[in-house]
Structure 1
Amino acid sequence: MLATLLFLLLDIGTAAWVARFALLSYLLVQWPRQAPMAKGILLVTSGLAATVLLSQAHPLPLLLHGLDRFCFFATFVSSLGLLRVSAMRSRLVREAGQTLIRQKPALRYPTLSLGTALFGLIINIGVLNLFATMVMRSNTLKAAGGHRDIQQARERRMMLSILRGFALAPLVSPLGITMAVILANMPSLTWATLAPVALPTAALFFLLGWWLDWQRRPSQLASRVPATAPPALTPLWRFSLLALAITLSVFAVAQAGQMRLPLAVLVACPLSAIVWMASQRQRLGGGTGLRRAVTQVARHSRLIFGANRGEIAVLGGSACLGALLTPLVDGQALHHLLLASHLHGAAMAIAAMLLVVVLAQLGLNPIVSVTLLASLLGDGNIVDPRLLAVALMCSWSLSMISSPFTASMLVLSQLIQRPARQIAWRWNGLFFVLVVPLLAGWLWMLSVLL
């Protein structure tokens, strides 16, 4: 992480080599503990790297570029991982999460969905572990009045609220992996240019989910459970202010250092995590807690950074895979092929969105397909870069709620002991069927307005 930052901020070539060797050492050490999907992506990436080495006249620059992309995303994931460590130890996070879980049924979808999106800014995929665990603990048979059908209906509604809320992250989070991929491959764009288009898109996604949840509510079951008073929203407001402060710190670092937003995340998020840990440790008495926080990270670094092994392998490996594949594609031939298809503007953006979603159903991580499409189509000759970016962000969100192979779906499946296909295709199938044409129509409208 430190070597990657030194290379990106100060352009120190030696630091780049240190980062590359450190990353490869990390991957080797963590290999026995990796999940099958992570191992598969690393093997495919290694195979493609070997192909590049044997087939290209000058393979070293391409290989180093792919490895540097891997280092960047490994550092990105680890930076957010430090925030996750701080959050998991925070009493405020637990209190705010309980506030969301215990809302009235009519307000449970918006509070859980928006709360998951808010928590996801800081905790990333850890929000699924946090909220799903709290849901399972709170949704007992006793709390459901002894009715098994009510307990199962609550589980389904709350899990879908959490999943769809987490799927809002690619559209609303300036700190997320999706934004980092888009901005890294489409340098003409910034968060400021995308936000006015992405945020209304997220609103449509959220409102459709809320409407569908209300339409499919088991109203005949609700009367069988005595109503309880919802808790005060004070912890949630306090956490919202904390999330806002961390987000603003990223923008402040970007502005002060004249750097792009993904790079500012690498600087601001670890600093915010240390300050947050220090405030927690301060309660133990004496001093600012800063020394205790740094000591805690150093002492438990093997566990803290080892816990990120899966995300680093999947996201970093996919980013490296995309970086290695893109130069091997004949851009001119592809450009002529796209022109011959007569797809341009909104039609091309919609086609790109659907392609990413279809490939996700086959197990291809969106980071690979989005990287390729953003690199190949992001020059603005065929489709407005803002329209393409929002379409790719939509495709990422759609993949998260529909593909049984995404990390979010696998995490949720393991937590609630339900097959991933049941959550993705049976529970969420109707929402997917409705939201795809809605987003396609919205993209078509945006092409007229932009």
Structure 2
Amino acid sequence: METAGSRLLTLAVLMELIAICLSSTGLGAVAGGLFILCFLGAGKRLHTYARLLLLVSLVVTAGFFVRGLLGVDRLIKASADAAFYAAFLGSLGMMQCLVRRFEVLHRIHDVLLGGRVTWLYPKYAVVSCGIASVLSFGMMNLLCGSLSGTLEARGVAGESRQQWLRSVLTSALRGFALVPLVAPTSVAVAILTRELPQLSWFMLLPYGLAAAVILIVVGWLLEQQRFRRVSSERVVLDQWPSGTLRLLSLVLTVFSLMAVIVSVTDFKISVAAMLAVPSITLLYMLWEERSVAVVLEEGVAQVSAMHNEMAIFSASAILGVSVSSLIPKDALSGLVTTPGGMWVFAVVGMLSLPLLSVIGIIPITVLSVQAGLLPQLVAEGLDPVLISAALVIGFSLAMMLSPFGPSVMLLSRFGRVPRWVVAFRWNSAFILIAVPLLLLLLALEIVFLPTML
């Protein structure tokens, strides 16, 4: 984006963070309008998918409003939600400013491939999830970009290169997909807790952990042999790269500040992350650079670099509010009066996310619509925790399967592999084994667990 547009986009992020601190929906709606102006002003600098999704969401919302199907209150909510989700991504993405400052992040693959071969897959998945919890999509940039550079520098090509890509990057993608299940910084958690104030990340965590364990074990069984071949070509490090302890201290500081914010305010942990991540990042950059101008310039550039993803998040929020507003309040009444009915409802909700993502409807759009329906169902007796657990599982699966999703497209670009291969061929066996196990897990949690307690 141009300099003026980049600064305006950063101002919109800052305005939304202030709106959150003041609990001001009106200011949030103004921030949403500012975001939309920035995205429209970007024009063809937005990727085609982001541009089309934004235009569709605005046209649909305007059409509903003109026809009297959408009230002013829903327009304000749509704008405020658009600002929240764009700022969520923009603020968490600030951690990407730290990547170039730490050698350990540039040599992350040599670090992760060390140790016993048996543990390489779960190590990659868990560490990828941990990094993505802080860096969000920056994690895929980091792992994909560093691996591509490493392979080119060492002259790894042909079948060997393909094995590296399939083992390492698929593991990283699946680790990234664990974020909605276990991380408080997940946009899926932010969407659900925003629509259901009685819900919290801590309530979802036990169910997310159970699903994450299943996904890690399935991947572990499938990838062990391939990792054995890859690990023989790694460079063994004599010691940890410089700056490792400092990086770990920074991450620990971020999460500690998040815990403090949650303990002394009424903010959800996702909001605490939006405040803590840019604060610690900017303070560290200022301490290192000793120049406010340099820090501000880099911060603005980092926010601007995410304008495509932020546009997608904003458009999805607007579309979610508009579409969910048209569904009659009693349309789903009576569907969740029994545990069996709730399981069927949860399964449909879970599977709709990856299935629709396959045809280009990204999971954040689907989840935004689904989340808009939940308050009325919860008022009728639906357990918000169990249905939300099903939706975050579906969101996790969609992140691996959507050939249009940012994570798969990043992996495809850096690995020079068609995104259809990444989404379907590399993950087909994994999904075919994991999905039935996850459906059994949902049955245990929804049908059997309540009767056992």
Taking structure 2 as the reference length, the TM-score comes to 0.87
Match of 1:139 among 151, 159, 175: 151
Counterpart of 2:267 in 1: which secondary structure?
Answer: coil
Q: Is the 8 A contact 2:46 2:307 kept in 1?
A: yes
Q: Is the 8 A contact 1:100 1:111 kept in 2?
A: yes
Q: Is the 8 A contact 1:20 1:68 kept in 2?
A: yes
Q: Is the 8 A contact 1:326 1:375 kept in 2?
A: yes
Q: What is residue 433 of structure 2 aligned with on the other side?
A: 434
Q: Where does 1:254-333 land on structure 2 (aligned, <5 Å)? A: 254-281=262-289, 289=290, 292=291, 294-333=292-331
Counterpart of 1:405 in 2: which secondary structure?
Answer: coil
Q: Is the 8 A contact 1:178 1:396 kept in 2?
A: yes
Cα deviation code 1:173-214 (max 9, x no counterpart): 101211101111222211121112212221221121111112
Change in CA separation of 1:228 and 1:65 when aligned onto 2, cut-off 3 Å? closer
Once the two structures are TM-superposed, the CA of residue 104 in structure 1 deviates from its matched residue by 5.7
Q: What is residue 9 of structure 1 aligned with on the other side?
A: 21
Q: What is residue 211 of structure 2 aligned with on the other side?
A: 201
> Which amino acid counterpart does residue 196 of structure 2 have in structure 1?
M
Cα deviation code 1:215-251 (max 9, x no counterpart): x5386x679x578645545766664443233122112
Once the two structures are TM-superposed, the CA of residue 24 in structure 1 deviates from its matched residue by 2.8
Once the two structures are TM-superposed, the CA of residue 96 in structure 1 deviates from its matched residue by 4.4
Q: What is residue 194 of structure 2 aligned with on the other side?
A: 184
Structure 2 residue 43 is matched with structure 1 residue 31: yes
> Which amino acid counterpart does residue 318 of structure 1 have in structure 2?
S
Cα deviation code 1:52-92 (max 9, x no counterpart): 22111663221111011001111111111212223343334
Q: Is the 8 A contact 1:201 1:439 kept in 2?
A: yes
Question: Does 296-305 or 122-131 show the bigger shift?
Answer: 296-305
Structure 2 residue 393 is matched with structure 1 residue 397: no
Q: What is residue 150 of structure 1 aligned with on the other side?
A: 160
Compute the RMSD of aligned alpha carbons: 2.7
Change in CA separation of 1:435 and 1:42 when aligned onto 2, cut-off 3 Å? same
Q: Is the 8 A contact 1:70 1:320 kept in 2?
A: yes
Q: Tell me the distance in 1 between the aligned counterparts of 2:141 and 2:363.
A: 21
Cα deviation code 1:7-66 (max 9, x no counterpart): 332245773464244223311232221001101110111111111221116632211110
Once the two structures are TM-superposed, the CA of residue 321 in structure 1 deviates from its matched residue by 1.0
Once the two structures are TM-superposed, the CA of residue 305 in structure 1 deviates from its matched residue by 2.1
> Which amino acid counterpart does residue 4 of structure 1 have in structure 2?
E
Q: Tell me the distance in 1 between the aligned counterparts of 2:275 and 2:221.
A: 39
Q: Tell me the distance in 2 between the aligned counterparts of 1:278 and 1:4.
A: 23
Question: Does 238-247 or 404-413 show the bigger shift?
Answer: 238-247
> Which amino acid counterpart does residue 216 of structure 2 have in structure 1?
F
Question: Does 269-278 or 392-401 show the bigger shift?
Answer: 269-278
> Which amino acid counterpart does residue 369 of structure 1 have in structure 2?
V
Once the two structures are TM-superposed, the CA of residue 392 in structure 1 deviates from its matched residue by 0.8
Match of 1:365 among 362, 365, 373: 362
Counterpart of 1:333 in 2: which secondary structure?
Answer: coil
> Which amino acid counterpart does residue 32 of structure 1 have in structure 2?
K
Q: Where does 1:92-131 land on structure 2 (aligned, <5 Å)? A: 92-96=104-108, 98-101=110-113, 105-131=117-143
Q: Where does 1:66-81 land on structure 2 (aligned, <5 Å)? A: 66-81=78-93
Q: Tell me the distance in 1 between the aligned counterparts of 2:56 and 2:233.
A: 54
Change in CA separation of 1:222 and 1:194 when aligned onto 2, cut-off 3 Å? closer
Q: Tell me the distance in 1 between the aligned counterparts of 2:309 and 2:77.
A: 20
Taking structure 1 as the reference length, the TM-score comes to 0.88
Gaps of 5+ in 2: 1-12
Change in CA separation of 1:27 and 1:228 when aligned onto 2, cut-off 3 Å? closer
Counterpart of 1:335 in 2: which secondary structure?
Answer: coil
Counterpart of 2:369 in 1: which secondary structure?
Answer: helix
Gaps of 5+ in 1: 282-288
> Which amino acid counterpart does residue 257 of structure 2 have in structure 1?
S
Q: Is the 8 A contact 1:348 1:383 kept in 2?
A: no
Match of 2:62 among 38, 50, 56: 50
Change in CA separation of 1:430 and 1:258 when aligned onto 2, cut-off 3 Å? same
Q: What is residue 344 of structure 2 aligned with on the other side?
A: 347
Change in CA separation of 1:11 and 1:394 when aligned onto 2, cut-off 3 Å? closer
Question: Does 244-253 or 180-189 show the bigger shift?
Answer: 244-253
Q: Tell me the distance in 1 between the aligned counterparts of 2:32 and 2:342.
A: 39
Once the two structures are TM-superposed, the CA of residue 171 in structure 1 deviates from its matched residue by 0.7
Q: Is the 8 A contact 2:167 2:227 kept in 1?
A: no
Counterpart of 1:331 in 2: which secondary structure?
Answer: coil
Cα deviation code 1:318-358 (max 9, x no counterpart): 0121012111111202325x369996222221221011221
Change in CA separation of 1:308 and 1:222 when aligned onto 2, cut-off 3 Å? closer
Structure 2 residue 446 is matched with structure 1 residue 449: no
Q: Is the 8 A contact 1:101 1:134 kept in 2?
A: no
Structure 2 residue 400 is matched with structure 1 residue 409: no
> Which amino acid counterpart does residue 50 of structure 1 have in structure 2?
A
Question: Does 313-322 or 86-95 show the bigger shift?
Answer: 86-95
> Which amino acid counterpart does residue 443 of structure 2 have in structure 1?
W
Cα deviation code 1:269-288 (max 9, x no counterpart): 2111112323433xxxxxxx
Cα deviation code 1:355-400 (max 9, x no counterpart): 1221111111111221222332454346422111111111111111
Q: Tell me the distance in 2 between the aligned counterparts of 1:150 and 1:300.
A: 37
Cα deviation code 1:95-130 (max 9, x no counterpart): 445412556644432222222111111111111111
